[in-house]
Amino acid sequence: MKKKQQHPGGGADPWPHGVPLGGAPPALGSWKRRVPLLPFLRFSLRDYGFCMATLLVFCLGSLLYQLSGGPPRFLLDLRQYLGNSTYLDDHGPPPSKVLPFPSQVVYNRVGKCGSRTVVLLLRILSEKHGFNLVTSDIHNKTRLTKNEQMELIKNISTAEQPYLFTRHVHFLNFSRFGGDQPVYINIIRDPVNRFLSNYFFRRFGDWRGEQNHMIRTPSMRQEERYLDINECILENYPECSNPRLFYIIPYFCGQHPRCREPGEWALERAKLNVNENFLLVGILEELEDVLLLLERFLPHYFKGVLSIYKDPGPKAQVNWSSPREPWICCTRPRWPYHQRRHAEGRWIAGGGCLGLPTLIGVQISCTCM
């Protein structure tokens, strides 16, 4: 009779039918010894720890990749070490670009305030300095619905940075819709002069030529087109009334319906937005000094702009006629002059900190309080 084998540790043999493939497991307390699980696979506690550490590093690296929006530094170093691989370029978003200067600038230009000249300069500067100039073909829609605001802000925010966006549009609050608030700039002018420029522009375009004005306003009646501006003011035509002269303030007040109502509320909100969101609000009558300040404040966009402006090449020129009754225009628009004076106060302060001479020498035909 075959004698029953005894286990070395005492008791019955746990493997009565023979040792399983790879050998028997070690006794308790013997994990430090190498254990043959398979003929070609052996591991120890140290090997197990190394595998777990490798897995942990891989998981952390993947987590950092997702959080930073791009590959971790050690992967970039690895790519540089191994060669110019395109794998990292083809997988996942590129790392976010943090620029040492304002990379999002909005110029919500006010109509008939020299914006055509400034945009012409920006086209030259964008090619020279390599920033992204984003323009719009929409020129006659300054008030937007909530959905239109969201869509426009989304389109602006996804533009390649650094960018400068420009359009005739009332102030947009990017933070209200979850976007990063850009730096705003703008240029205004004497409200009466702006009104005069717009009055003739609607009738005769830039050059007051017959073909030009027929294309711009073909439905305007001849008696309306050639209406004397003094008669328009004295007879209180709708075109020469307060709402037209209130045109500037909504560009700083914003998209709220009350911003389109002449009054203290719109004025105070416009002043608040100027203080909190606008880097500079220049004055057209002092355009060269405005350009100098822009060159100092935003050199990555406007460096060399003054020399380009002074170049004898062609520029957009604005001409207007003065009415015989300027005091009538002036006694009506109370709020635009308050907004202008507020901008002038910031304008003088901005010039003083740069050591510029007295910048404000604008002659207003009467005192509007």
Both tokens assigned to 356: 């510029």
Both tokens assigned to 138: 């929409």
Long-range contacts of 307-311 (CB under 8 A, 24+ apart): 308/121, 308/124, 308/125, 309/117, 309/121
- Calpha distance 189→199 (Å, rounded): 15
- Calpha distance 237→223 (Å, rounded): 13
Fill in the DSSP letter of residue 26. P
Fill in the DSSP letter of residue 315. -
Q: Which residue has the tokens 């109509």?
A: 111
- Calpha distance 358→348 (Å, rounded): 7
- Calpha distance 23→295 (Å, rounded): 81
3-state secondary structure of 38: strand
Neighbours of 201 (CB within 10 A): 19
For the annotated catalytic residues, the residue numbers are 168
3-state secondary structure of 181: coil
Contact by Cβ (8 Å): 88, 75:
yes
Contact by Cβ (8 Å): 202, 111:
no
CA dist list (Å): 216 to 206, 210, 231, 287, 318: 10, 10, 23, 28, 17
Q: Looking at the DSSP assignment, which residues form a beta bridge with residue 106?
A: 165, 184
Contact by Cβ (8 Å): 114, 186:
no
Both tokens assigned to 28: 């308790």
Q: Which residue has the tokens 């957009």?
A: 316
Contact by Cβ (8 Å): 63, 71:
no
